[in-house]
Amino acid sequence: MSKPALDPVSEQAIDWMVKLRAGTPNAALQARFNQWLSQDPTHQQAWTLLHDRLGGAFNTVRALDKRVPGQAGEARQLLLQPHASRRDALRVIAGLGLLGGGLWLGARSPVGDSLLADLSTGHAQRQDYTLADGSHLSLNANSAVDLQFDATQRLVILRHGQLVIQVAPDVHRPLRVRTAQGEIRALGTRFLVAQEPGASRVVVLEHSIEARLFNGTVLNVQEGQSALLYTDRISRLPGEQRQRADWQSGRLNVLDDSLEHVIDALRPYTRGYVRVAPEVRNLRVQGVYPLNDPQRAFTALAHTLAIRVDHYSPWLTVISAK
């Protein structure tokens, strides 16, 4: 699942933290930083929040990761969000049962989705399932689905993340995968569905599917084709997309994609927050990268692109131009 983006002022605060911690700051750098702080009250506020949240607050999250491995991503993200409060983070932690809170406290977050979903995976975890009808379902890391199977329907609701499903034929109950934008309908086929920010991606690996929005828009997608479902339209995607299902075997196979999208694919396998500087987000990437070893993937990216990868704590990685 893609995480919400930070606002520009918070990203500037991260950039200043990186510069100031890169070595011994000189007087000129300190003067520029002081000027930035004084330019706008929001700069001081963003700096203070970032400083606080990268300090003692992360000790709580480290302890959380030891007790519930792979389930602390939402708390870490809240600690970095400029409009989130410590109470918000405590709600997520309470939702995990660590502070005595009920599960309902985290039910409206991705962590809550995973806890309450019928099937879910955590950080760096992939899982295969055989459903009641004989269909085979694979979930990528940090994914969650609900199932509604009865005598009249077969419905898989993708809450967040990615799935690949090999559908068992049943002419009386076409299987549907529902996302935030619409539904994908199939009889006997294999396809990938990914819930992305503002859109759902479908890649047909075998046979064909019917994509339908909630407003009634319909598009048939054939084997080897792919599409993005938005709330108001369905857009066919050019080029080969079937390699996007290679996460099933632990590989991220990139033919031609932006660095930003590559990092998004690595996030479910990476602990902490990964910040990609705006000037390198659109660099084009090709290659095959190991999902189970994101640090190795970062190193390979740094060797092939004009970027540097800096780790400032176990919870913060910054990717910027060389």
Over the stretch 95-106, which tens digit does the pLDDT of each residue have? 444 333 333 333
* pLDDT for the residue numbered 116: 64
Q: 118: number of CA atoms within 13 Å, CB side?
A: 13
| Amino acid symbol at 298 | F
DSSP E strand boundaries for the chain: 119-120, 127-130, 136-139, 144-149, 154-166, 175-178, 182-186, 190-196, 199-206, 208-213, 218-222, 226-229, 234-237, 251-258, 273-276, 284-290, 307-313, 316-321
Of 275, 239, 244, 237, residue with least CA distance to 259 = 275
What pLDDT does residue 91 have? 45
Sorted by sequence, the CB contacts under 8 Å of residue 293 that are 6+ apart come out as none
pLDDT of residue 76: 44
State the Cα angle at 249 between 247 and 251, rounded to 5°. Answer: 55
Please report, in angstroms and rounded to a whole number, the separation of the first and last CA atoms in the chain: 28
Nearest CA to 267 out of 131, 43, 74 is that of 74
Q: What is residue 258's predicted lDDT score, i.e. its pLDDT?
A: 95
pLDDT at residue 1, rounded to an integer:
42
Contacts of 288 (CB under 8 A, 6+ apart): 246, 251, 252, 253, 254
Q: How long is the chain?
A: 322
Predicted local confidence at residue 48, as pLDDT: 73
Low-confidence residues in the chain, pLDDT < 50: 1-5, 55-109, 112
In the chain the domains, ranked by start, together with CATH numbers, are: 8-116 (no CATH), 126-242 (2.60.120.1440), 250-321 (3.55.50.30)
Task: Give the closest residue to 251 by CA, choosing from 240, 238, 242.
Answer: 242
The type of residue at 213 is L
* pLDDT at res. 286: 94
Q: Contact at 8 Å (CB) between 128 and 109?
A: no
